[in-house]
Structure 1
Amino acid sequence: MDIARWSGGADPADRTVLERCRGRVLDVGCGAGRLVEALARRGHTVLGIDVSPAAVISTACRGGHARSGSVFAPVQDEGTWDTALLIDGNIGIGGDPRRLLRRLYDLVRPAGLLLVETAAREVDERRRVAIHTGRRPVSPVFPWATVGTQALVRHGRLSGWAPVEQWSSLSGERHFAVLRACP
């Protein structure tokens, strides 16, 4: 994880995501709130959710709205979000991309959008991870997935989503896809 990017402001690659957001936006795994902040400045109604209370506090300190909790628990305004975001590898949340994609399908409105940042290489793997500071773990072990664009499209189709667009950042380091919920 790139901590400087995670805690900084929206960068040029992030702005390519922001340009594709429509209407009310739900940022799943919002982290320190850089995208929530940038979307609010663009006039979007936006809510960040994150399991980390520190991330929610950071988002609020940036002037954004965020709630602490899991995407798999009840979420405010379920079924009405126009756009949902899974950026910074958050397609890995819960370690089961299809389960996560099915859950997000329930959170967006019919024909809603999902913008996902995928792995730079084609991969579809599951593992158990922990967050470390140096060599010391600072979190319990939790399930995580890493998914490339082709795997995302495959999982998406099996979960009610149709691919719309794929692109990479100008540097070629970050990769993104847009899916639309099939009505």
Structure 2
Amino acid sequence: MTFDAITAYDEAFAGKPAHVVDHVGRTQPFEVAQWSSAPDWVDRELFIDPCDDATIDIGCGPGRLVAELAARRIPAMGIDVSSEAIRQTRIRGALALRRDVFGAIPGEGRWAYALLADGNLGIGGDPVRLLRRLRQVLTDGGVVIAEVAPSGTGLVREHRRLRVDGRLSAHFEWAVVGLDAIDEVAERAGLQVVATHAAGGRHAARMERA
């Protein structure tokens, strides 16, 4: 028996064993422990240190990035569809709201940075649509910093499910964008990749308006 994906995220963030299942049945861990820990040096180098002004973290999860930004006195807010993720982010002392990125977001047009860490460029299964949405959220000179997969991945769009404590969620749309595909994706969204950075085996692309 399936259950809805948001409930699955809530239960996973609450600590139940969870895996991501792709459209052909391959599984990978849902890395709640990593996302719930303090930011490591890679998080800081790729996503935290570059932000010196108002920052919104899309799909903030338990809030390790937005909490660190807040601790540095950077105006920051996280959004996530999971109420459990928002609860944990607030416990860390950070501002967080339960929001869908494609719905209304406070401060639209006034955020200087938007973060898409931990593969969140895949939210909604259409990265071009997501980046176009972030153009509306950011200031005219705003910056998207998005984690991307290694070169050779291309652009993959798929249906995923979460397996939480042995139960499968309903399908949801997801995407994976590699270094070799991010320039084209950004261009289609009206953005341009102005820099890429690698640290600890992870990769991030910095995008601004074209």
- Class of the TM-score when normalised by the shorter of the 2 chains: over 0.9
Q: Secondary structure at the match of 1:126?
A: strand
Question: CA–CA distance in 2 between the matches of 1:110 and 1:133?
Answer: 41
Aligned residue identity for 2:39: A
Question: CA–CA distance in 2 between the matches of 1:143 and 1:22?
Answer: 32
Structure 1 residues 38 and 25 mapped into 2: Cα distance closer, same or farther (>3 Å)?
same
Q: Which residue of 2 is the match for residue 63 of structure 1?
A: 93
Q: Secondary structure at the match of 1:149?
A: coil
Q: Which residue of 2 is the match for residue 129 of structure 1?
A: 160
Q: Give 1:144 shift.
A: 0.3
Q: Which residue of 2 is the match for residue 11 of structure 1?
A: 40
Question: CA–CA distance in 1 between the matches of 2:179 and 2:116?
Answer: 13
Q: Give 1:64 shift.
A: 0.6
The Cα offsets for residues 155-183 of structure 1, whole Å up to 9 and x where unpaired, read as 111111121111111x32x111111123x
Q: Which residue of 2 is the match for residue 178 of structure 1?
A: 206
Question: CA–CA distance in 2 between the matches of 1:92 and 1:72?
Answer: 13
Q: Which residue of 1 is the match for residue 3 of structure 2?
A: none
Aligned residue identity for 2:32: I
Question: CA–CA distance in 2 between the matches of 1:33 and 1:120?
Answer: 25
Q: Which residue of 2 is the match for residue 108 of structure 1?
A: 138
Question: CA–CA distance in 2 between the matches of 1:162 and 1:105?
Answer: 12
Q: Which residue of 1 is the match for residue 105 of structure 2?
A: 75
The Cα offsets for residues 86-116 of structure 1, whole Å up to 9 and x where unpaired, read as 0000000000010001000110000200000
Q: Give 1:2 shift.
A: 2.2
What are the residue-to-residue correspondences of 1:79-158 with 2, within 5 Å?
Answer: 79-121=109-151, 122-133=153-164, 135-137=166-168, 139-158=169-188
Unaligned runs of 5+ in 2: 1-29
Who wins on radius of gyration, i.e. which is larger? 2
Q: Which residue of 2 is the match for residue 21 of structure 1?
A: 51
Give me the identity figure in percent.
Answer: 39
Question: CA–CA distance in 2 between the matches of 1:44 and 1:150?
Answer: 32
Question: CA–CA distance in 2 between the matches of 1:181 and 1:84?
Answer: 13
Q: Which residue of 1 is the match for residue 191 of structure 2?
A: 161
Question: CA–CA distance in 1 between the matches of 2:181 and 2:116?
Answer: 15
Question: CA–CA distance in 1 between the matches of 2:194 and 2:73?
Answer: 24
Question: CA–CA distance in 2 between the matches of 1:134 and 1:56?
Answer: 21
TM-score (norm: length of structure 2): 0.82
TM-score (norm: length of structure 1): 0.93
The Cα offsets for residues 116-140 of structure 1, whole Å up to 9 and x where unpaired, read as 0011342211111111125422x32
Unaligned runs of 5+ in 1: none
Aligned with residue 47 of structure 1, among 56, 74, 77: 77
Query: What value does the CA root-mean-square deviation take over the aligned residues?
Result: 1.2
Runs (4+) of structure 1 exceeding 3 A deviation are: none
Q: Give 1:152 shift.
A: 1.8
Q: Give 1:38 shift.
A: 0.5
